[in-house]
């Protein structure tokens, strides 16, 4: 086997590992060593057993959804005496503050910052004023199912659990060509998080809906992009698990940002979090190093494996490698055709899959450049 052929197979395995081999290994490990943890509570908690919860909603100019969000939150199946709702305003310039004030009689508290400093600042500000033993962080765009909060907090009866993540039921893509691929990705991501949770700990959380023990919450640096990755990683470093509760569901309303910009920002946040918490990838200092490398780091390497795979296919001799070149050429040509296809159905819809996969990998590379050149902006912009 020549050097080009060897590199070809290494690149192919590198591409397949995070999306195929890792889930297969997780599934096998899950069947063999699935942790048989039982909650201290048998069945649902009574109102007396429920912990106090501070529901924290960071807000910047969410006048279109805030009233619906507050009505949704107030309707959750949770005793009013054991929950508080904190709205942390981050330099709002629309009618969000006025809308929230209308719910003051229902117990909604507001904390305001006149200067916009980002979501993480708002989270930290609200956490300092929170009185609950559990902090629930949720987005203004996330509509929570009525029984989700009860289900979520039940998992804290396990003392080693530091955080509990909910699940996203529906996430509409702004670019409709991305929709089918994102739905498949979301199902795969939810399955992986659930499997990781069963055998130890989920590596990340759902940013739109996750809860943390107040006593364990540490101030997150304000320039952090992905709190839903940094917080679980820091908890893992202190031997506290993050569990994924698939029965606690929220539905996300689409924002106005483009899918590419959203993914670029998210992936830049992945690079940032893994760099800052790089000790979690060290087998000598972290017992979760394999999950962090497989779930997060290996995915970030995908565009580089794609480049190596293409070049090694061209350089390697043999009919198999010629077929690989032809297949990749057809794939990228289809992606270009998909660029010109809007909402489609039937056979035309197939053009959208290569297109969306290429967009995701391009966003990955741009995310790396954004992180490398220090151009991260914690203030999420809406187009």
Q: What is the pLDDT of residues 87-133, one digit of tens each?
A: 999 999 999 999 999 999 999 999 988 888 899 999 999 999 999 99
**pLDDT for the residue 42:** 46
Calpha distance 257→181 (Å, rounded): 18
Does a structural domain hold residue 151?
Answer: yes
Q: What is the pLDDT of residues 237-255, one digit of tens each?
A: 999 999 999 999 998 865 5
With tokens 């305001």, the residue in question is: 112
**pLDDT for the residue 260:** 82
Helices and strands (H and E) in the chain: how many:
14, 8
Beta-carbon contacts of residue 22 (< 8 Å; ≥ 6 apart): 192, 294, 295, 298
**pLDDT for the residue 39:** 41
Using 50 as the pLDDT threshold, list the residues of the chain that sit under it. 37-42, 256, 383
The domain total for the chain is 1
**pLDDT for the residue 37:** 47
Does a structural domain hold residue 19?
Answer: no
Does a structural domain hold residue 245?
Answer: yes
CATH number of the domain encompassing residue 72: 3.90.550.10
Calpha distance 270→248 (Å, rounded): 24
Q: What is the dihedral of CA 172, 178, 179, 182, to 10 degrees?
A: -90
Beta-bridge mates of residue 249: 167
Nearest Cα to 253, choosing from 348, 92, 124, 139?
Answer: 139
**pLDDT for the residue 336:** 86
pTM of the model: 0.88
Does a structural domain hold residue 308?
Answer: no
Q: Which domain holds residue 225?
A: 53-257
Does a structural domain hold residue 31?
Answer: no
Are 55 and 85 in contact by the 8 Å Cβ rule? The answer is yes
Does a structural domain hold residue 115?
Answer: yes
Q: b/e for 104-117, b at 16 or more Cβ within 10 A?
A: eeeebbbbbbeebb
Does a structural domain hold residue 175?
Answer: yes
Are 242 and 227 in contact by the 8 Å Cβ rule? The answer is no
**pLDDT for the residue 38:** 43
Does a structural domain hold residue 76?
Answer: yes
């Amino acid at each position: 086997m020549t050097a080009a052929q060897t590199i070809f197979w290494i690149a192919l395995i590198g591409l397949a590992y995070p999306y195929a081999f890792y889930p297969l290994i997780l599934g096998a490990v899950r069947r063999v060593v699935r942790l048989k943890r039982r909650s201290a509570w048998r069945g649902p908690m009574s109102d007396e057993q429920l912990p106090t919860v501070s529901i924290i909603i960071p807000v910047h100019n969410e006048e279109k959804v805030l009233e619906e969000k507050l009505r949704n939150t107030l309707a959750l199946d949770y005793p009013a005496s054991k929950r508080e709702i904190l709205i942390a305003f981050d330099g709002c310039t629309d009618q969000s503050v006025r809308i929230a004030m209308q719910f003051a009689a229902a117990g909604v508290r507001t904390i305001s910052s006149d200067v916009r400093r980002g979501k993480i600042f708002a989270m930290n500000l609200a956490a300092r004023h929170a009185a609950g033993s559990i902090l629930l962080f949720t987005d203004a765009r996330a509509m929570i199912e009525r029984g989700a909060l009860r289900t979520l907090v039940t998992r804290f009866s396990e003392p080693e659990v530091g955080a509990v993540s909910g699940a996203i039921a529906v996430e509409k893509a702004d670019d409709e060509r991305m929709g089918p691929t994102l739905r498949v990705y979301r199902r795969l991501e939810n399955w992986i998080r659930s499997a990781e949770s069963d055998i130890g700990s989920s590596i990340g959380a759902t940013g739109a809906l996750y809860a943390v023990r107040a006593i364990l919450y540490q101030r997150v640096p304000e320039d952090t992009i992905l709190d839903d990755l940094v917080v679980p990683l820091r908890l893992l470093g202190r031997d506290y698990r993050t569990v994924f509760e698939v029965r606690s569901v929220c539905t996300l309303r689409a924002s106005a940002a483009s899918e590419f910009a959203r993914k670029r920002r998210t992936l830049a946040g992945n690079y940032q979090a893994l760099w800052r918490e790089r000790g979690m990838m060290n087998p000598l200092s972290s017992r979760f190093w394999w999950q962090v490398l497989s779930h997060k780091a290996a995915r970030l390497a995908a565009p580089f494996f794609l480049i190596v795979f293409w070049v090694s296919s061209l350089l390697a001799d043999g009919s198999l490698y010629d077929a690989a070149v032809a297949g990749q050429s057809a794939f990228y040509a289809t992606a270009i055709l998909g660029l010109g296809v809007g909402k489609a159905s039937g056979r035309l819809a197939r053009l959208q899959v290569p297109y969306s996969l290429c967009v995701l990998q391009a966003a990955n590379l741009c995310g790396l450049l954004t992180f490398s050149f220090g151009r991260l902006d914690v203030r999420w912009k809406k187009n």
